[in-house]
Structure 1
Amino acid sequence: MQDVECVEFLQWALPRLHRRWPGFRKVRRTACKRVSRRIQELKLSGTRTYREFLGRNPGEWSILDSLLPITISSFYRDKAVFDFLGQTVLGEIAANAAAREDTLRAWSIGCASGEEPYTLMLAWRLGAQASFPGLDLRILATDVDATVLDRARAACYSISSLGQLPATWREQAFTRDTDRYCLRAEFRTGIDFCLQDIRLALPPEMFHLILCRNLVFTYFDESTQRQILERLFTRLLSGGALIIGHREVLPPGTTGLAPWPGAERLGIYARG
């Protein structure tokens, strides 16, 4: 499939799925390959006949939607964000949890192969937890893709995925298995991986920290962003933190959240 043809198709299809073209522009090759493969599976001649097929088969839209999630993940992705999280945010929300004699709870949305929730657990176990003996961190990690969740549970990665991770953390938390690095069992405990679509369902519990980075506010249209943000707000405790991608912005007019002091350019927000 030629790039021009794919771009034209995505610009037509994405709004119908409440997604936004600007979020896909730089990653369109991945989306185009998946769409092209689907067209071949259906033995269609191209995007024109695929459009016609979508018109005759409404159920195909959900299949197309399932082809669009983009997975780009690594440990300690966006170093400045995790530095600030470990040095400032975790300590403040942990103090709130400890004052309530509560378990510290975090939710990683769009967790992909597990790099984000595992990085968070390492930041806690190898850093902030020392100031809060006896306080446990529980992480719910969700994604719409069962395949990447299986990889997350396996917890073995190439060295390239660990490139941004502090070397001392890598030495303490991983064992080498030929060409892969596998996370030690003690750093996997406390994390629950769950198949879930943020558009359709919410977990029942409340959280001190929600990470929703490079997903909702990149790939979905503004109306969907607002709907999801309202849902997230119902799960974020007062004094808790919401972290979005550092290049993402919340919908105009968002209330109830303020940039975390000192993290105005990091996508970290505090709930009042």
Structure 2
Amino acid sequence: MKDSECVEFLQWALPRLHMRWAGFRKIRSRVCKRIQRRINQLQFESISAYQEYLQKHPEEWQKLDELCRVTISRFYRDKMVFNLLELEVLPVLAGQALSGDEDVLHIWSAGCASGEEPYTLVLVWDLSLQLRFPRLHMHILATDTDPVLLKRAEQACYTFSGVKNLPAAWRETAFLDTAGAYCLDPVYKRSVDFQCEDIREALPAGPFDLILCRNLVFTYFDSELQTIIRDRMWDRLKPGGALVTGVHEVLQEGKQDFEIWSAQLGIYRKAGQAHVIC
């Protein structure tokens, strides 16, 4: 299959999945390879034959949807984001929680893949901020549509390339070197609950102090679906809560406006309380 043929196919198929071509343009090669394997599996001679098959067999769209899932995940991805979370965002949210006489900071990691993002947050909290807020604990709900990835997340064993961006001291403290794999110490897994959930169909009830939805909704989904999910996230954030998107993503306008916390890093805030760092 030629690249041009795959591009034409994706430009036809993606809108029918409520996805947008712009989000796939740079990473299309991996998706095209998956589609080619599916074409071979079905013993079709061309992508046009697969296109006809999709039109006659609606159940195949679910398979194509799975082929279009893109996972790029590692610990401490976009270091500056986690630096701001550590130095400003989490302390502000912690202060707000304590002022409301709460003892748990509720966080949702949407599209958590193999768990790198929620576990990074746990390390930031436990190894940097917990002593500062001894009365407050963190609970993270981490969701993804892929049960295979969620199983890996629960096992929490990674290659060095997945953890290399973490501070060396954190790697040594939080991971056990097991047969060449870096396996997270179980003590750092207790704050995270994993759940299989498609964000297009349902969102957890909340309310949350912090939602992380990076490099998923606002990259791959079409504008209509982006707006719907954005408004649902707004509803699930506590007043003063924060939303973290990808650093290259643009947050759609919706029924309610978010305040900008850091435009450069894609961090926003639901109006409600003043920025007071405790």
Distance of 1:63 and 1:203 partners within structure 2: 25
| Cross-structure match for 1:7 | 7
Distance of 2:43 and 2:254 partners within structure 1: 46
Measured after TM superposition, the shift of residue 252 of structure 1 is: 4.1
Is the 2:231–2:256 contact (alpha carbons within 8 Å) kept by the matching residues of 1? Answer: no
Residue identity opposite 2:184 in structure 1:
L
- RMSD (Å) for aligned C-alpha atoms: 1.1
Q: Partner of 2:130: helix, strand, or coil?
A: helix
Q: Partner of 2:251: helix, strand, or coil?
A: coil
Distance of 1:217 and 1:204 partners within structure 2: 21
The percentage of aligned residue pairs carrying the same residue is 52
Q: Partner of 1:107: helix, strand, or coil?
A: strand
Question: Relative to structure 1, is the Cα distance of residues 135 and 188 closer, same or farther in structure 2, using a 3 angstrom cutoff?
Answer: same
Per the normalisation by structure 2, the TM-score is 0.94
Could you tell me which runs of 5 or more consecutive residues in structure 1 were left unpaired when the two chains were aligned: none
Is the 1:73–1:112 contact (alpha carbons within 8 Å) kept by the matching residues of 2? Answer: yes
| Cross-structure match for 1:53 | 53
| Cross-structure match for 1:264 | 263
Residue identity opposite 2:121 in structure 1:
L
Measured after TM superposition, the shift of residue 36 of structure 1 is: 1.2
Measured after TM superposition, the shift of residue 74 of structure 1 is: 0.6
Q: Is 1:65 aligned to 2:29, yes or no?
A: no
Could you tell me which runs of 5 or more consecutive residues in structure 2 were left unpaired when the two chains were aligned: 272-278
| Cross-structure match for 2:224 | 223
| Cross-structure match for 2:275 | none
Measured after TM superposition, the shift of residue 256 of structure 1 is: 2.4
| Cross-structure match for 2:274 | none
Measured after TM superposition, the shift of residue 254 of structure 1 is: 6.5
Deviations 1:34-64 (A, max 9, x none): 1111112222122101111111111211221
Distance of 2:254 and 2:204 partners within structure 1: 26
Per the normalisation by structure 1, the TM-score is 0.96
Q: Output aligned runs, 1:186-225, within 5 Å.
A: 186-225=187-226
Residue identity opposite 1:28 in structure 2:
R
Is the 1:87–1:128 contact (alpha carbons within 8 Å) kept by the matching residues of 2? Answer: no
Distance of 2:22 and 2:203 partners within structure 1: 27
Deviations 1:85-124 (A, max 9, x none): 0110000101111222321000000000100000011001
| Cross-structure match for 1:122 | 123
Q: Output aligned runs, 1:68-147, within 5 Å.
A: 68-102=68-102, 103-147=104-148
Measured after TM superposition, the shift of residue 253 of structure 1 is: 5.9
Is the 1:108–1:116 contact (alpha carbons within 8 Å) kept by the matching residues of 2? Answer: yes
How many residues end up aligned between the 2 structures? Answer: 270
